[in-house]
């Protein structure tokens, strides 16, 4: 068993930031949702991502204006990625799962864009009356 589950090096990486932000948001989401709307959960994720980044900057002694500005911007990216991770790990239940194969109806997705491709032109038999003789060299 590793002795260090989370290190400052891991927290300073993109994957580490996303993982820890996701874990913290999932832990605090239910108590926050009792009092606030879902929109505040997104701000909570940005706040967690920013606080983790500021902590790693402080530990690395890189607490400059440039690093703090980038941490603010990166916290939005990390929060969006953590939200996407949640959407992938928690499948939506909007479409019912068929109970048996007898009740299964295939879902046919219609094209969202009208077909603008040119029509396929097929060769038509010639209606000309001239007899085009093939020269003996071409036959040979």
**Residue with structure tokens 């703090």?**
68
Task: Indicate the pTM of the whole model.
Answer: 0.59
Domain ranges of the chain: 8-89
Residue 65 pLDDT level (bands cut at 50, 70, 90): very high
Q: What is the mean pLDDT of residues 90-95?
A: 60
Q: Three-class SS string for 74-117?
A: HHHHHHHHHHHHHHHHCCCCCCCCCCCCCCCCCCCCCCCCCCCC
* CA angle at 112 for the pair 107 and 114, rounded to the nearest 5°: 125
Share of the chain above pLDDT 70, in %: 59
Beta-carbon-side half-sphere exposure of residue 2 (alpha carbons within 13 Å): 4
């Amino acid at each position: 068993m590793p002795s260090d589950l989370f290190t400052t090096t891991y927290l300073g990486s993109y994957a580490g930031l996303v993982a820890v932000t996701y874990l913290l948001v999932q832990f605090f989401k239910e108590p926050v949702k009792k009092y606030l709307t879902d929109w505040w959960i997104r701000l909570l994720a940005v706040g967690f991502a920013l606080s983790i980044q500021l902590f790693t900057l402080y530990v690395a002694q890189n607490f400059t204006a440039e690093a703090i500005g980038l941490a603010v911007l990166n916290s939005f990216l990390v929060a969006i990625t953590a939200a996407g991770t949640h959407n992938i790990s928690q499948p939506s239940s909007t479409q019912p799962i068929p109970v048996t194969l007898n009740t299964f109806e295939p879902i046919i997705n219609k094209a969202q864009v009208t077909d603008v491709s040119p029509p396929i032109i097929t060769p038509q038999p010639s209606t000309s009356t001239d007899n085009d003789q093939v020269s003996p060299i071409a036959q040979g």
